Amino acid sequence: MEALEGNKVKLTVEVEEAEFETDLDAAFKRLAREVRLPGFRPGKAPRKVIEARIGSEYARQDAFREGLPNYYVEAIKEHEVDVIGPPEFDITGGELSGPVVFDAVVEIRPKVAVSGYETLEVTIPSPFVAESEIDEAVDRMRGQFGDLQVVDRPAEDGDRITIDIEVLHEGEPVAGLTADDYLYQVGMGGVVPEMDEQLLGASAGDELSFTADHPDEDEEEPLEFSITVKDVQAAVLPELTDEFVKENSEFETVADLRADYTDKLGRSRMAQAMTARRGSVGQAVAELVSDEDLPAALVDLEVENRAQDLAMRLQAQGLTIDQYMQFTGTSREDMLAELRESATGSAKLDLALRAIAEAEGLTATDEDLDAEFAKVAEQIGRSLDDVRAEFASAGQLSAVRSDLAKGKAMDWLVERTKIVDEDGTTIDPAVLVMPELPEEPTTINEADDDSVDTAADESSEGPDAGTTDEATTSTEGEEE
């Protein structure tokens, strides 16, 4: 193996004549199925007869096409070459007879140097639940039992408004959008965004006229709205007492109800913060790798892997790529652009973690490998020795060691990266621990469960970890 410029190596492979003879014999058997010789059925003509009639050059070229890739694979396994692109073959000996010698030039994964990873700082959602959030969750629960009352003030978000509404399109009434005494909740977004914008702050007796884009993109003419506000109604919540809680939930006191919300919202917020922490660290360290250090072949390989993974997951659901694009309204170009964007971030993170693992001396031990193989063995119901042997036979031991080392590098980074919340307040990493579940968890009634789910959903919305989240550094493969 010889190192070349541009992240490439040249493998020079020599195959003894006796070994290559097996490939040549297989090529003659394939040729026998193609040629027609008098006196022989298809596929039954002996090699000597074919050689005498048409020579051996065609069969030898066929043997090259079929055999060289196999010898190349053996070579990269032997030398543990981390290839990221297809090879270029050049036969330098044995084209007509004798031992076969060929060169294979291939691009390999580059090693990059990253700086600044020791002083990273990332922002994550606060893992703490504010008292105001608990108040809002409790109010949503009370809202399940509230009454509507007419109020003498402008409409606020969440109020119900009684309206007469007429909507025209090209001068004709729109079916389903013309009604009298229609009760509408401000902010629900049930028709068009402009409608909520107009109703917010409206008072009884107001008459509103405005236009809005048609929801159907194929319709060029706008919708014309005419709305008369007849009254504004606000929900009057029941008084929050122990008696109310006992009658409408599975708790005895207000304190018990608030404690349950605090626990559930706290778990949701903590899970969100812990996930965002790791994802944000991955995104930050990936940005330390410049575009110039990122080979196009590596991104192409990652795009191909992600496309194949998407196709397999869709196939498991009985869908094709074309059906997926149709259902999601995504063009092939947009889908490939999204795959390439995520693949670029993943490839950068891969290079960064490899560099940090080497710089910090983070390696995978034999014990680490055995632990990883033990997990795989348990998942597929095979013995540890069988799994280890199969990985070794496939030449994947080096890849597994690399993945484990990257996982250690990621853990090293997460432990040392400074984390702050949205307000810039430093967060002590020691607090990012999921609290233990109570021995006998209690739940509120079905209506309250819905409000807890809603609150949890709202609190779990955070910054997207992008394409360089923990999955891209899984020790189970290049991508999880």
Per-residue pLDDT reduced to its tens digit, 180-233: 999 999 998 888 999 999 999 999 999 999 999 988 888 889 999 999 999 999
Task: Give the integer Cα–Cα distance in Å for 294 and 292.
Answer: 6
- Across the chain, what does the average pLDDT equal? 87
Q: What percent of the chain is predicted at pLDDT more than 70?
A: 89
Per-residue pLDDT reduced to its tens digit, 405-460: 999 999 999 999 999 999 999 999 999 988 776 655 444 444 444 433 433 343 33
**pLDDT confidence of 30, banded at 50, 70, 90?**
confident
The pLDDT of residue 190 is: 81
Q: What percent of the chain is predicted at pLDDT more than 90?
A: 68
> What is the phi/psi pair of residue 436, to 5°?
-70, 145
The pLDDT of residue 446 is: 41
Q: Which residue has the higher pLDDT, 467 or 294?
A: 294
The pLDDT of residue 420 is: 96
CB-based burial, 447-475: b 16+ in 10 Å, e otherwise:
ebeebbeebbeebeebeebbbbbbbbbeb
The whole-number average pLDDT for the span 139-161 is 91
Task: Give the integer Cα–Cα distance in Å for 153 and 146.
Answer: 19
> Could you tell me if 417 and 121 are in contact, meaning their C-beta atoms sit under 8 angstroms apart?
yes
Per-residue pLDDT reduced to its tens digit, 238-270: 999 999 999 999 999 999 999 999 999 999 999
Residue 45 has pLDDT above 80, yes or no: no
Amino acid of residue 323: Q
Lowest mean pLDDT among 154-163, 369-378, 413-422, 443-452: 443-452
Q: Which residue has the higher pLDDT, 138 or 42?
A: 138
Q: Which domains does the chain have, with CATH numbers?
A: 2-107 (3.30.70.1050), 147-236 (3.10.50.40), 248-286+336-473 (1.10.3120)
**pLDDT confidence of 467, banded at 50, 70, 90?**
very low
Lowest mean pLDDT among 169-173, 187-191, 275-279, 347-351: 187-191
